[in-house]
Structure 1
Amino acid sequence: MPQLVDGGVFDNQGVESLLKNECTHFIVSDASGQMGVEYEVYTDPVSVLLRVSGVLQDRVRTEGLLHLLDSKGEENVVFIDLRKGLGERGISWINQDNVPAEEDKIIEPNCKEFDVNAEVQEKLSLIRTDLDAFTEVEAYSLMLDAYQMSRKDLVQFVNAKQQPEAEWKFAQVADFLKEPTPEYLKQLEVAKSIFGKALLVFPWLWAPIILVAAVVLFYSWEPII
């Protein structure tokens, strides 16, 4: 019987409960923020604690996925995350002579395999999904991105049947994912913010806010005699 679970602090991907229920096939959809690369290291206590927390969470997440793959086999697990298809740079270690031991390995983006522009994929991976508050553009973009990324991967399951194409509402943004416009990219750029997204997209909204604040201050002001 299919089971749908969400992760949390203890089990980021929510797979442990599925393993305990002896599920056989797994589709893991990871929309969590990935730990980014820091080119400048700060040593103040707050920065160090935040980075340590990020490293720890990334390590726990990785170990959970490796445990799933080891116990159930890669053929029974489909893992989808928002960094799929993006380019990578493998940085070589520095030897005792203070020079790189080998050349850095550059992996070029291949998002076009699922009809998504690399810049769009990068911006989608930075959207804050933990607040559960999305605009229609953000929601449709995330849904279509996952739909197109997973289409080929899900076929690997035993007895998987190709279903007829359905007319999904989120398909309305397909052209933007493939060939984004400046306006569309701006909305995705703003989507990574926690608060004030509407003000960043529509700066003119500041006018009524400032007007209301001015009126409130005017009528609440008590002059000092």
Structure 2
Amino acid sequence: MAGHSKWKNIQRRKNAQDSKRGKIFMKLAKDIFIAAKEGGGDPDMNPSLRLAVDKAKINNMPNENIDRAIKKATGNLDGVSYEELIYEGYGPGGTAVMVQIVTDNKNRAAAEVRHAFSKNGGNLGENGCVAFMFSRKGYIVIDRVQTAADEDEIMLEAIEAGAEEMETSNEAYEIYTEPEKFNEVRKQLEENGYVLETAEVTMIPETYTQLNEEEAKSMLNLVEMLENIEDVQDVYHNMDVDDELLDQL
């Protein structure tokens, strides 16, 4: 993990997801779902859910969409039973891929995920085949251009709040936490006046797989196809591509 910035990949992913209104709502629903799943469906008792709901309202997400995401996470959606699944596999060039699914029909979800892999030069694997290559971490980004604080100041405040480590790139300060410390660190940094560009609990690759141009094209197509599946909540991978090549693609 150390020494490899997620920042540009995060920004590209966000720009792609946020390019359409429907994509924005899908992302917001995912945030609400995960927060409610982990901390309960009452925003007054779940700070992460309150944050996700407030963000959804700022983006004019309809209340019925918000309520549906909460009910989906807490199992209170009448007549429908949802389950959360993780599919693992390999993408082009041997990249490790994990796909987070929330579905009421796992046979349909499995078929769609398998089709996306096979169409783009990948294949599904057994449970656990790539999970060991990722660590679940809290991940917080502070845009370096948007803050007047220097690296030492931010690092000290992050560590005091409970963060594990911080990496610095030209664009951003990237802060990593244990999942159970994430809300505490996020809250403390916000109270200290920092604007957080990204704040999420995610899967961080331990190592990365370098891809050439042809492999990168296929991998990007695979990720896009997976993210367009209705049941897919998130896609994690360890693709590494030179910035110049990725910009061209």
TM-score range, shorter-chain basis? under 0.3
TM-score, with length taken from structure 1: 0.22
Give the greater-gyration-radius structure (CA).
1
TM-score, with length taken from structure 2: 0.20
Which of the pair has the greater relative contact order for Cα pairs under 8 Å at 6+ separation?
2
